[in-house]
């Protein structure tokens, strides 16, 4: 059983091949780490899966459905959500208003599960430990609060698959633990599948049940964290950085 399947995915930017023949399967409820040196294609892969990029070759299959012809917001409706590497909240609005916008436009009654939109937003802020920042303008948030808001926005539509693109970059060690704890709690409470892109090895290794490593647009490792960390090809990819 797979929730996400990527088959023979290739993405070229002009003459440059950013992703080359990628095959990937993600199981329901799995916590998967996606690693690889700068420029290895991690964000490009996520862009192809979420539909931000659609002119790729190969296929993206979600719950057995080929998503190739669907634009990004339709893929989001199907249950794929991603956080962005560089958060861009509306800075003149409060944390809660930033959550209410995607909810008002896109959430369905089924997703709300009997709650009002406001109650649902409160619940997400509670899950992400942002409740006491609810009425703060996002312009004044700290780095970690911004990261939490970005994850809260990604969680707003109750996705089945959450892809987190470097949600921990620039955080202190204890803040990294904070985000890790939140993501693991979400995964355990809601059985949501999480793909974590991360350069902080300690974090991605403790989070992941399985780790996939990209190098120059190719999958060079796909196994348990312990095996990946000992894989000579992975070590070589990072040393060459
Ligand atoms: N829109 C684009 N046009 C041209 N080249 C691009 C574009 N987006 C990405 N690339 C190139 O594709 C390669 C993969 O980039 P990508 O952003 O996917 O890497 P990454 O693994 O996410 O890196 P990082 O760890 O630094 O975030 C890089 O060489 C990058 O320069
Ligand atoms: Mg990236």
CATH number at residue 47: 3.40.50.300
Q: How high is the pLDDT of residue 241? A: 60
CA pair distance 13, 11, nearest whole angstrom = 7
Which residue positions in the chain have pLDDT lower than 70?
241
pLDDT in the model for residue 84: 82
Q: Is the CB of 18 under 6 A from ligand 1?
A: yes
CA nearest 219: which of 67, 17, 41?
41
pTM: 0.94
* pLDDT for 90: 81
Q: Which domain holds residue 139?
A: 4-239
Sign of CA dihedral 39, 210, 6, 72: negative
Give the count of beta carbons closer than 10 Å to the beta carbon of residue 86: 9
* Cβ(174) – ligand 1 distance below 6 Å: no
Share of the chain above pLDDT 90, in %: 83
42 lines ligand 1 (CB under 6 A): yes
How many domains does the chain fold into?
1
Which ligand has the nearest atom to the CA of 22? 1
């Amino acid at each position: 059983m797979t929730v996400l399947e990527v088959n023979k995915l290739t993405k070229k930017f002009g003459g440059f091949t950013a992703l080359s023949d990628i095959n990937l399967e993600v199981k329901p409820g799995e916590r998967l780490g996606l690693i690889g040196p700068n420029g290895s294609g991690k964000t490009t892969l996520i862009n192809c899966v979420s539909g931000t990029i659609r002119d790729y070759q190969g296929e993206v299959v979600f719950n057995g459905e080929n998503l190739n012809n669907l634009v990004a917001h339709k893929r989001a409706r199907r249950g794929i959500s991603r956080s962005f590497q560089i958060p861009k909240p509306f800075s003149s609005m409060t944390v809660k208003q930033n959550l209410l916008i995607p909810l008002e436009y896109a959430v369905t009654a089924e997703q709300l599960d009997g709650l009002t939109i406001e109650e649902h937003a409160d619940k997400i802020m509670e899950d992400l430990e942002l409740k006491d920042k609810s009425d703060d303008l996002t312009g004044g948030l700290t780095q970690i609060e911004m990261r939490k808001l970005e994850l809260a926005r990604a969680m707003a539509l109750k996705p089945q698959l959450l892809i987190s693109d470097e949600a921990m970059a620039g955080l202190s060690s204890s803040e990294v633990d904070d985000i890790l704890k939140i993501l693991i709690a979400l995964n355990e409470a809601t059985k949501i599948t999480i793909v974590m892109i991360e350069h902080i090895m300690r974090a991605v290794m403790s989070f992941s049940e399985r780790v996939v490593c990209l190098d120059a647009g190719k999958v060079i490792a796909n196994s348990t964290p312990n095996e990946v960390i000992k894989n000579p090809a992975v070590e070589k990819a990072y040393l060459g950085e």
